[in-house]
Every structure is written in structure tokens, then in C-alpha cells.
């Protein structure tokens, strides 16, 4: 099995000792993405829907660097600090996955890095 680090400046850099993504022979694992604007490194302002779109745009750029796109996503895990945000997140998320949406889990957590209220991780088929 080959293991390749995937990195792009078009998505936020990792905020700890981990990679943006790791590609294997057949899968791409994108680390949990926060709603950070890669151009300034700051969390985007706005509601949870705006933040969801930013996260998916970040994932799109990382996938692109690995030669894939959002249609290659087979599984996501969404972490929310408040499940009351579920419907807004679901609506924004659904705009990116019109056909054959990936498998998904959504869980409520006590806290997320940088005080974010949402984080999403991705697994893609290559």
C-alpha cells in the first residue's frame, strides 16, 4: 500500500500534527475540516449554513489536489456542537450532493477546535 500526503494552499493548513489528507491506493482520507477561509486563515462569519459551504469548498480543493472531486466522497462524518443546527446543515450539505449522496453520520460533541460549532471529515474513493 502506498501512502501519500495531500496538501493544497487552496484549503486551510492543518492546525496540528496531522495532514490535510492522506491518499492510499484507492482511498483519500480528508482530515476534519473547520469553516476556515484559506485566504486569511480565519473562521468564516455567518450562520451554520455558510460555515457548512466553506467546509465543503475546502474539501473540494483538497479532493481536487488528489485528482478527485466531491462526487468521489463515499462517507462523511459531521460533528456539531448543537444538533439543533442539523436542519440548516442538512440543507447546505444537500446542495453539494444532488445525486447519490455519500453515506454519513452526524454526531453532537461537547466542543471542537478553535471554538467552531461544526467540523466535517471525508473519505473518498480514488
Q: What CATH number does residue 75 fall under? A: 3.30.1330.40
Return per-residue pLDDT of the chain as tens, 126 residues. 999 999 999 999 999 999 999 999 999 999 999 999 999 999 999 999 999 999 999 999 999 999 999 999 999 999 999 999 999 999 999 999 989 999 999 999 999 999 999 999 999 999
Assess contact for 64 and 56: CB atoms under 8 A: no
Q: CA 102, 105, 111 angle in degrees (round to 5)?
A: 130
User: How far, in Å, CA of 62 to CA of 31, rounded?
Assistant: 10
> What is the domain range of residue 35?
4-125
pLDDT at residue 14, rounded to an integer = 94
Q: What is the residue whose three cell numbers read 453539494? A: 96
Number of domains forming the structure of the chain: 1
User: What size, in residues, is the chain?
Assistant: 126
Amino acid at each position: 500500500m502506498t501512502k501519500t500526503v495531500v496538501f493544497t494552499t487552496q484549503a486551510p493548513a492543518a492546525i496540528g500534527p496531522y495532514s490535510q489528507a492522506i491518499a492510499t491506493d484507492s482511498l483519500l482520507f480528508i482530515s476534519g475540516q473547520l469553516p476556515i477561509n484559506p485566504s486569511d486563515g480565519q473562521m468564516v462569519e455567518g450562520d451554520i449554513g455558510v460555515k457548512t459551504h466553506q467546509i465543503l469548498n475546502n474539501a473540494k480543493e483538497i479532493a481536487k489536489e488528489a485528482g478527485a472531486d466531491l462526487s468521489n466522497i463515499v462517507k462523511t462524518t459531521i460533528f456539531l456542537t448543537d444538533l439543533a443546527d442539523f436542519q440548516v446543515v442538512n440543507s447546505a450539505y444537500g446542495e453539494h450532493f444532488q445525486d447519490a449522496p455519500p453515506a454519513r453520520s452526524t454526531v453532537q460533541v461537547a466542543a471542537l477546535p478553535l471554538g467552531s460549532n461544526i467540523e466535517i471529515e471525508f473519505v473518498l474513493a480514488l
